[in-house]
Amino acid sequence: MSFGGRVSVVLGLLVVVIGFAVWGVVGFLLPQPPTVDFTSAQTPTGAIDMTVQTVPAIGFGYQPVWVSYLVKNPQGQWIHSTVWKLPAHTRINVTIDQYDSGSPLRNQQWWRVQGTLGGQATYNGKPLSVYDSNTGNNGIGHTFTVPALNLSVPLVGVDGNATNTCGSAPCTTNFDHNTMKFSFMTPGAGTYSWQCFVPCGGGYLFGNGGPMTTLGYMGGFLDVVA
């Protein structure tokens, strides 16, 4: 083979290898849920209002039986995403409609509301700082926890005897649900991961697999920008 031929073979192979590497990174490592941008959605007071819901089964996509979070974008549409862009040093008023059921938790750490403004949340309009998951039929279904902000709010589950439960997302308030409200301040710019800390991956041993470890379901990012 001539010199030029050998160079061509090497360059051709190089292109193939780089192509495979780029395909692997772009196709399988980088994909994330779409980012929902709240930076231009400030109310006259400067705060941002967010509405979120948790559903027992997303009902669509490649894992329709998985539990998931959804968020309502500033245009009022429900988006299946857990990556939210927020402005820095801003008050965020969060409303979470919880459509999933709950269970008693062994770790009392996740019973507590912490890191919110005033150190409290409201549960169906009533102030809440600790929820004893061992009493009643509700239990705790999920938490909204941002470890870097020391922020964690338990999401009280729907009554275990409820019959009007939501089957697939997005759920409407006609279905049985609980509403949690709280506020927190965003820190400086950065990407802060958040996660549900209740093992809620149904079908997985100990509930820790599947949606618990998949971005877009029970965990995501607060993409805080200056």
Partner 1 sequence: MTLAAERETEVVYPDPTPPVLGGFQGLPARPGWFSQHLGTAAILAVGGYLLGHWIGNVMTSGYDNVAASGINAVPVTAGLLGGVLGWLLGIGALNYPLAKMAGMEPRPDYESTSWTRYFRYTADHKVVGMQYVIGVLGFLFTGGLLAMAIRTELLSPTSHLFGPGTYISIVSEHGTVMMMMATSVIVGPLGNWLVPLMIGARRTAFPRVEAFSFWIFTAGYLVILSALFYGGFPTGWTGYAPLQTQAPQGMMSYLVGFAVIGVGMMAAGFNLAVTIINYRAPGMTWSRIPIFVWSILATCALLTLATPTLVAAGLFGILDHTAQTAFYVTEHGGSSFLWQNLFWFFGHPEVYIMALPGFGIVAELLPVFTRKPLFAYKVAAAGMIGVALLSFFVWQHHLFQSGINPDMRPLFMLTTELISIPTGFIFLVGMGTLYKAKIRFEVPMLFCLAVFFNFLIGGVTGVFLSDVPVNVTVHGSFFVLAHFHYTIMGGLIFAFFGGLYYWLPKMTGKTMNKKLGKIHFWLMFIFFNLTFFPMFLIGLLGQPRRVFEYAHNLQALNDFASVSSFVLGASFLVFVANFVWSIFIKPTPSPANPWDSLGLEWQTPTPVPYYNFARIPVVLNDPYHYGEENPPAIADLGDGILVAAGASSPASVAEDPRPPAE
Residues of this chain that interact with partner 1 (CB under 8 A) are 3, 6-7, 10, 21, 24-25, 28-30, 32, 63-66, 148, 190-193, 195, 201-206, 208-210, 213-215, 219, 221
Q: Least distance from C-beta 71 to partner 1, angstroms?
A: 16
Q: Least distance from C-beta 127 to partner 1, angstroms?
A: 32
Q: Least distance from C-beta 96 to partner 1, angstroms?
A: 21
Q: Least distance from C-beta 12 to partner 1, angstroms?
A: 12
Q: Which is nearer to partner 1, 29 or 163 (CB)?
A: 29
Q: Which is nearer to partner 1, 23 or 130 (CB)?
A: 23
Q: Which is nearer to partner 1, 78 or 204 (CB)?
A: 204
Q: Which is nearer to partner 1, 65 or 130 (CB)?
A: 65
Determine the Cα–Cα distance for residues 176 and 141; give it in Å rounded to an integer. 14
